[in-house]
Amino acid sequence: MPFDKFIDTAVPLPATNVDTDQIIPARFLKATTREGFGKNLFRDWRYDNEGNEKSDFVLNQSIFSGSILVTGKNFGCGSSREHAAWALSDYGFKVVISTFFADIFKNNALNNGILPIVADAVTMSKIFKAIEIDPTTKIEIDLPNERWSFDRETYSFEINAFKKECLIKGYNNMDYLVSKKGPIEKFEQEHIYC
């Protein structure tokens, strides 16, 4: 799905080092399709052992909503499970903002139409504060211009030009790689491990 410019509210999750086992616990990785992971997103933070909602967890607090997740540093560390990106996307998140992301998660997010935005620590504390004061704070995401803004201030972010184009146009890496069949086969003729 092409990624357009949009404005939305955000969900704050200030925890640091949120690992992929928290985003989607291993016991929910038994599916053979990509659908339906959103209901188990942050499962053990969201529900108790009996399946009741934990009222102190942000996804269970109705004052917070929106397709933007604002979170602490090193989000998505741990396992390579793309199920973490599928769960976030299935739940409805389109953007995650953090001081930085684990490498594999970042790739997985981009491959699933989720935009990871890296912000500095000062900006992060401002946005957390803004949402705390007013949960209806609107954030504008402007991918084409690599900018995002809230409270009348605008911040820039960086994204690889190729990844940006893929997101905006809804392309994926597969089409590009398949188009490289010729060069790949040529490479193989000379390569030691082929």
Partner 1 sequence: MSKKVKTLFDKIYDKHVVESRDASPDVFYIDRHFIHEVTSPQAFDGLRKKGLTVARPKQTIATADHNVPTLNQHLPIKEMLSRIQVETLTQNCKEFGIDLYGLGHENQGIVHVIGPELGITQPGMTIVCGDSHTSTHGAFGSIAFGIGTSEVEQVLATQCVLQSKPKTMKIEINGALSEGVLSKDIILYIISKISAAGATGYFVEYCGTAISSLSMEARMTICNMSIEMGARGGLIAPDEITFEYLKGRSFAPKGEDWDKKMAYWSTLFSDPGASFDKVINFDAADIEPMITYGTNPGMGIGISHAIPTDDGTGEIDKAMSYMNLSSGENLEGQQIDYVFIGSCTNSRIEDLRLVADFVKDKRKADNVEVWIVPGSKKVEAQAIEEGLDQIFLKAGFELRQPGCSACLAMNEDKVPAGKYCVSTSNRNFEGRQGPGSRTFLASPLTAAAAAVTGKITDVRKLLKNTTYAV
Among 4, 53, 169, 184, binds partner 1 (CB under 8 A): 184
**Shortest distance (Å) from residue 148 CB to partner 1:** 21
55-114 positions binding partner 1, by CB under 8 A: 73-74, 77-83, 85, 100-104, 107-108, 111-112
1 belongs to the binding site for partner 1 (CB under 8 A): no
CA nearest 116: which of 131, 97, 103? 97
d(CA 38, CA 87): 4
Q: How, if at all, do strands 68-71 and 6-8 pair?
A: unpaired
Among 5, 27, 54, 129, binds partner 1 (CB under 8 A): 27
**Shortest distance (Å) from residue 154 CB to partner 1:** 25
- Residue carrying structure tokens 């200030």: 14
- Residue carrying structure tokens 């995650």: 96
116-175 positions binding partner 1, by CB under 8 A: 160-163, 172-174
Among 22, 71, 89, 123, binds partner 1 (CB under 8 A): 22
Among 1, 30, 62, 152, binds partner 1 (CB under 8 A): 30
User: The tokens of 6 are what?
Assistant: 């949009």
36-55 positions binding partner 1, by CB under 8 A: 44, 49
**Shortest distance (Å) from residue 140 CB to partner 1:** 26
d(CA 140, CA 130): 14
Q: Are 58 and 132 in contact (CB under 8 A)?
A: no
Beta carbons within 8 Å of 114's beta carbon, 6+ residues apart: 85, 88, 89, 93, 94, 95, 96
Q: At what angle do helices 161-169 and 103-110 cross, to 10 degrees?
A: 40
Residues in contact with partner 1 by the rule CB under 8 A: 15-17, 19, 21-22, 25-27, 29-34, 44, 49, 73-74, 77-83, 85, 100-104, 107-108, 111-112, 160-163, 172-174, 176-178, 180-181, 183-184, 187-188, 191-194
